[in-house]
């Protein structure tokens, strides 16, 4: 390993290249792992797949499981060992919001194991739109699950289903992943926002504080097995915002947007890569401990082998313009090749992150079929295998 990097450092005094992979449309299409993906990762790992030979991370606007479960899935799909500290999901930055809402009810939405993920992050007072449907079936008249209280005209709150009542108003809506049932979620989220966290209590008491709304992924489109891209969470948030504007004359207030192309996940990935660099024997200006603390502050999973860590309560850079302040120690990489398929997310985010990030667009396996004029990628290739070859070639 030292020999390998000594040659790299001779060739690249700026350090070795690092590689950051998007998942949907680059490594997988829905349920199918792309054949090029295994080959691509094999080029960056030891022959037995147990150790990365370069800093490698995975940055997705997807989620619905913990980083540990996603790392296990990636290890299965790609035939190499992926650790949870190499993975940033759409909702990873939400981890550091748990302290802010430690004592407040939060509506958690989206497909997958979002309740379990929210509890894993430290949220303790969680309600879902499924539970609200059961507590107030009349609020969702066209929904097939009329829940526990089919005859109830108004919400029936019980000891189990108490969040959303005037005694326990909901303080935040957190969309962890793309919702499945848009009719139900658009209706109930609009109720929660307009009622200031007390759906069914209309008009809300004067002076009730507004509800904060967090979206984890702005993707209008993403690529699954279907021939054409599918609506993503960005399409859902566009609908919620349009409904609020139609009903009140104002766009959705107190909305916070995370996910590529916004800055938060890129800052988090940089810290994860610095941690990996140190573990790979690369001299870094910023000790791994500082990198670990920065990862924890941004909500990421600190790698088990480094000191420091644990989630912190600092507030997130949830600016919708992605203008998080970037105070950066020089990164020990000749380039960070960010391989993606969606110009509006992957290319825009890497280009905005600036050097040493290099945006690499694949045009045969995901959303994009050609380079984008609006968000031009620095490197354009067919697929992820060609992307890795291009990065390694430039590193020589």
Residues of this chain that interact with Mg ion (CB under 5 A) are 22, 24-25, 341-342
Closest distance between Mg ion and the C-beta of residue 60, in Å?
7
**Binding partner at 278 among Mg ion, ligand G3P, none, C-beta below 5 to 8 Å by kind:** none
* Cα–Cα distance, 91 to 258 (Å, whole number): 8
- 282 vs 339, beta carbon nearer ligand G3P: 339
- 22 vs 297, beta carbon nearer ligand G3P: 22
**Binding partner at 232 among Mg ion, ligand G3P, none, C-beta below 5 to 8 Å by kind:** ligand G3P
**Binding partner at 217 among ligand G3P, Mg ion, none, C-beta below 5 to 8 Å by kind:** ligand G3P
Among candidates 151, 148, 248, which has minimal Cα distance to 190?
Answer: 248
- Which residues of this chain interact with ligand G3P, rule CB under 6 A? 22-25, 60-62, 178, 217, 219, 222, 232, 342
Query: Residue 222, SS3?
Result: strand
Closest distance between ligand G3P and the C-beta of residue 155, in Å?
31
* Alpha helix ranges (H) inside 179-232: 182-194
- 90 vs 129, beta carbon nearer ligand G3P: 90
Is 137:143 a contact under the CB 8 Å cutoff? yes
Neighbours of 30 (CB within 10 A): 12
Closest distance between ligand G3P and the C-beta of residue 162, in Å?
31
**Binding partner at 20 among Mg ion, ligand G3P, none, C-beta below 5 to 8 Å by kind:** none
- With CB atoms as reference, the residue minimizing the distance to Mg ion is 25
| Residue ranges with strand state E in the chain | 17-21, 28-29, 32-33, 56-59, 87-88, 106-109, 126-127, 172-175, 212-215, 221-222, 230-231, 255-257, 335-340, 357-362, 379-381
- 22 vs 375, beta carbon nearer Mg ion: 22
User: Taken in order 45, 46, 47, 50, is the CA torsion positive or negative?
Assistant: negative
Among candidates 106, 101, 108, 94, which has minimal Cα distance to 169?
Answer: 106
- 238 vs 312, beta carbon nearer ligand G3P: 238
Token pair belonging to 219: 């993707």
* Cα–Cα distance, 159 to 161 (Å, whole number): 6
Closest distance between ligand G3P and the C-beta of residue 111, in Å?
9
- 90 vs 278, beta carbon nearer ligand G3P: 90
- 131 vs 342, beta carbon nearer Mg ion: 342
335 exposed, middle or buried (CB, 10 Å; 0-12, 13-18, 19+)? buried
Is 307:292 a contact under the CB 8 Å cutoff? yes
**Binding partner at 198 among ligand G3P, Mg ion, none, C-beta below 5 to 8 Å by kind:** none
104 exposed, middle or buried (CB, 10 Å; 0-12, 13-18, 19+)? middle
**Binding partner at 383 among ligand G3P, Mg ion, none, C-beta below 5 to 8 Å by kind:** none
* 247-252 contacts at long range (C-beta below 8 A, 24 or more positions apart): 247/190, 247/194, 248/194, 252/193, 252/213
- 101 vs 236, beta carbon nearer Mg ion: 236
**Binding partner at 84 among Mg ion, ligand G3P, none, C-beta below 5 to 8 Å by kind:** none
The CA R_g of the chain, rounded to the nearest whole Å, is 22
**Binding partner at 61 among Mg ion, ligand G3P, none, C-beta below 5 to 8 Å by kind:** ligand G3P
* Alpha helix ranges (H) inside 122-176: 129-135
Closest distance between ligand G3P and the C-beta of residue 134, in Å?
26
- 197 vs 218, beta carbon nearer ligand G3P: 218
Closest distance between ligand G3P and the C-beta of residue 214, in Å?
16
Closest distance between ligand G3P and the C-beta of residue 230, in Å?
8
Closest distance between Mg ion and the C-beta of residue 48, in Å?
29
Closest distance between ligand G3P and the C-beta of residue 259, in Å?
8
Which strand (E) or helix (H) includes residue 19?
A: strand 17-21
């Amino acid at each position: 390993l030292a020999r390998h990097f000594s040659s790299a450092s001779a060739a690249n005094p700026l350090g070795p290249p690092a590689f950051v992979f998007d998942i949907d449309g680059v490594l997988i299409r829905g349920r199918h792992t792309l054949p090029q993906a295994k080959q691509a990762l094999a080029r960056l790992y030891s022959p037995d797949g147990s150790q990365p030979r370069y800093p490698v991370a995975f940055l997705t606007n997807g989620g619905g499981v913990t980083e540990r479960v996603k790392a296990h899935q990636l290890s299965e799909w790609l035939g190499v060992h992926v650790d949870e500290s190499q993975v940033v999901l759409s909702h990873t930055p939400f981890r550091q919001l748990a302290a802010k809402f430690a004592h407040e009810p939060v509506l958690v939405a989206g497909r997958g194991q979002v309740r379990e993920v929210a509890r894993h992050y430290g949220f303790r007072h969680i309600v879902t739109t499924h539970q609200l449907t059961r507590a107030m079936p009349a609020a969702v008249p066209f929904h097939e699950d009329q829940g526990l209280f089919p005859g109830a005209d108004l919400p029936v709150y019980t000891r189990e289903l108490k969040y959303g009542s005037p005694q326990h108003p909901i303080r935040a809506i957190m969309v962890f992943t793309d919702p499945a049932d848009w009719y139900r979620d658009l209706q109930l989220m609009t109720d929660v926002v307009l009622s200031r966290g007390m759906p069914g209590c209309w008009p809300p008491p004067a002076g009730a504080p507004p509800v904060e709304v967090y979206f984890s992924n702005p993707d209008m489109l993403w690529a699954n097995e279907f021939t054409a891209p599918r609506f993503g969470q960005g399409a859902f948030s566009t609908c919620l915002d349009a409904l609020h504007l139609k009903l009140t004359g104002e766009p959705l207030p107190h909305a916070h947007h995370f996910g590529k192309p916004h800055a938060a996940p890129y800052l988090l990935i940089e810290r994860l890569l610095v941690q990996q660099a140190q573990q790979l024997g690369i001299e870094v200006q910023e000790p791994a401990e500082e990198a670990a603390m920065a990862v924890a502050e941004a909500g990421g999973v600190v790698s088990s082998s480094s000191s420091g860590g644990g989630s912190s309560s600092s507030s997130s850079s949830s600016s919708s313009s992605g203008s998080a302040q970037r105070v950066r120690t020089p990164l020990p990489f000749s380039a960070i090749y960010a391989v993606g398929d969606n110009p509006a997310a992957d290319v825009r985010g890497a280009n905005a992150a600036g050097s040493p990030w290099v945006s690499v667009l694949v045009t045969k396996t995901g959303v994009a079929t050609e380079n984008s004029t609006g968000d031009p990628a620095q490197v354009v290739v067919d697929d992820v295998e060609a992307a890795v070859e291009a990065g390694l070639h430039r590193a020589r």
